[in-house]
Structure 1
Amino acid sequence: MPKTNRRKFVLASLTVLALPRRGSTAEQPGLRFGLVTDAHYADYETLGNRHYRESLTKMRECVESMNQQGAQFLVDLGDFNDGARKPAEEDALRYLSEIEAQFARFAGPRYHVLGNHNMDALSKTQVLGQIKNTGIDPELSYFSFDRGGRRFLVLDACFRSDGAPYDRGDFHWTDANIPAQELQWIQEQLEDSPHPVIVFIHQLLDGSGNIFVENAAEVRKVLEDSGKVLAVFQGHHHSGSYRELEGIHYYTLRAMVEGSGPENSSYALVDVQPDRIVVKGYRRAVDQTISSQQP
């Protein structure tokens, strides 16, 4: 796989990620799924550019679009709800229930990644009890599923550096970690998978600093050493980004909550093809577009 500085980046309406040959990718059929992140839904007044209440309408449009486009499943990349203003528990649960009701209008399997704001005012147990991850034990905050000849890993970096899970705001958002037990589970999932792998996570893995997982380099090494990981899809960083490291593509989707009106929503349709991944952005997501070509 050529290094990033040998790639040509051009504006386009799609993001095309050229894939190395990993596992049996070339023998697999195409696969299509939807992505959304950082809805931050709550019954709050607008703060800065975050229009919390509007995410309910934006999510409805996203789900309707994914149903129309034939997405085979839909993934929320975290910060689905928001409790940063410390609402009463009953209100925090109501916000989560209301946005989940819109997400549940999707006609196929649906999955959630936990983000830091999910646990501003609630415990992980409460959050997991209010949402649905299709076919997954409701007690699990990280899990895997196989579909269309690929394995998908849903990760949870909402743990403090002392190993404690995020709980009702008892954490700092910059202290995000993949604990040893989860890292071992990731390695086992990669070793056992007969398929190429795609990863979903909220906090970023492709660097270091406040918005990244504290032990991101350690996690990346496990992903890289497997030789099976095609791409990592992330949220958390509201402006979005894209980076390729050691043959793995890291795509960060723009946040749904930023900006007023449907034109300022953000969600994506991902087509996984035998030799490439194509991410089609909707609304503001189309503004962050890249074409990746091998020399």
Structure 2
Amino acid sequence: MKYAINRRTFLRLSATTLSAVPFLSFSNIISEKPFLQFGMMTDSHYADCPSRGIRFFQESKAKMKECVDLMNQRKVDFMIHLGDLKDESKPAIESETLQYLKEIESVYATFSGPRFHAIGNHDLDSISKKQFLDHIENTGIPKDKSYYSFDQNGFHFVVLDANYLKDGTDHGNNNFHWEDTQLPPEELQWLKEDLNKTTFPTFVFLHHTLYDVGEIGKKYHVTDADQIRNILEKSGKVKAVFQGHYHREQYQKINGIHYYVLKAMVDYSGKENNSYAIVKLYKNGVLEIEGFRRAISKSLHFNLIKNEN
């Protein structure tokens, strides 16, 4: 004898079954162990100078140490900083700015695995892009590359750099306005070719957002964000984009791609106001963001083969 069961009844019975097995978490039901996990932080803005507003620059070294210590303990596969690693004093002095960069990068360097950076606008305050790149490490990436990609455990990762003037000139030494950001034609072409070559599910990192966060009077998104999103969508391979810059947490799903903005590390005093996350990728297409301190946890799903718009 066959029995028909509708969706509403199925969901009710499923909920009843799960409630009767309290020791099984949603994560355990989906998958026992992530196939890959990475640590993520953003907007540390370290500088040895007094706080301004809600930004407590000096505390970012201790906050980052807490983050890196936990990432080492959890043995994540790699770490990514989403930009604004350092800040500067007022008035800015180049030698001081470089010292701040060296100090905060030395904390990041205590991570025992591969580490990467996306460049933020404050990373280029009073120093050049070359100076910034010379003082940080992107593991396995040539020193002169500000945008790049790498593979790990069957996933592809792309790091973008939107710190360019409209004519393609690098931002640096305060030659720019923080709202004037774009990917130059060379980087757009590189992105198309890079996505075309990979056969892996892909995740993108950059400092600036690829959509309008909706704050009136301020522009946090990349000027050519629509064009960039179109490239990502057409590839059918990009599953999620991770961003910083806005300092507040945001999430949107646009045409099948997840866009997540992580809260800033620098904001508010005390380790209880720290912010960082571990992103866990599962073979069955589950993406879990485990937030720490102020960062909020979130569970998402991505299609392993082709995005559904």
TM tier, shorter chain? Answer: 0.7 to 0.9
The amino acid of 2:292's aligned partner reads Y
Give the corresponding residue for 1:256. Answer: 265
How many residue pairs align between the two structures?
267
Unaligned stretches of 5+ in structure 2?
Answer: 1-24, 28-33, 303-309
Superposition deviation, residue 292 in structure 1: 5.2
The 4+ residue runs of structure 1 with deviation greater than 4 A are: 289-294
Kindly indicate whether residue 107 of structure 2 is the aligned counterpart of residue 98 of structure 1: no
Q: Which of these residues, 238, 247, 253, is aligned with residue 256 of structure 2?
A: 247
| Structure 1 residue corresponding to 2:69, chosen from 64, 69, 75 | 64
| Cα pair 1:198 1:232 within 8 Å, conserved | yes
Q: Structure 1 residues 88 and 234 mapped into 2: Cα distance closer, same or farther (>3 Å)?
A: same
Q: Distance in 1 between matches of 2:66 and 2:198?
A: 35
Report whether the alignment pairs 1:280 with 2:285: no
Give the TM-score of the pair, scaled to structure 1. 0.87
Q: How far apart are residue 134 of structure 1 and its match?
A: 0.3
Residues 162 and 78 of structure 1, relative CA distance in 2, 3 Å threshold: same
Structure showing greater radius of gyration is 2
The answer for the alignment partner of 1:210 in structure 2 is: 219
Matched, 1:192 2:197: yes
Q: Which amino acid aligns with 2:290?
A: K
Within 1, Cα distance between the matches of 2:227 and 2:264?
26
Q: Distance in 2 between matches of 1:149 and 1:206?
A: 28
CA distance in structure 1 between the aligned counterparts of 2:91 and 2:244, rounded to whole angstroms: 22
Task: Give the superposition deviation at 1:293.
Answer: 7.8
Q: Quote how far apart the aligned CAs of 1:221 are.
A: 0.1
In structure 2, relative to structure 1, the CA distance for the partners of 1:131 and 1:243 (3 Å cut) is same
In 1, Cα distance between equivalents of 2:301 and 2:172: 43
Gaps of 5+ in 1: 1-13, 17-28
TM-score by length of 2: 0.83
Counterpart contact for 2:151–2:157, Cα < 8 Å: yes
The 5 Å alignment of 1:98-177 reads 98-177=103-182
> After superposition, what is the alpha-carbon deviation per residue over 1:105-150, rounded to whole angstroms, capped at 9, x for unaligned?
0010000000000001110000000000000000100001110101
Q: Paired residue for 1:19?
A: none
- The answer as to 2:44 corresponding to 1:39 is yes
Q: Match of 2:20?
A: none
Kindly, what percent of the aligned residue pairs are identical? 45
- Residue 280 of structure 2 aligns with an amino acid whose one-letter code is D
For the residues of structure 2 that align with 1:83 and 1:188, how far apart are their CA atoms? 36
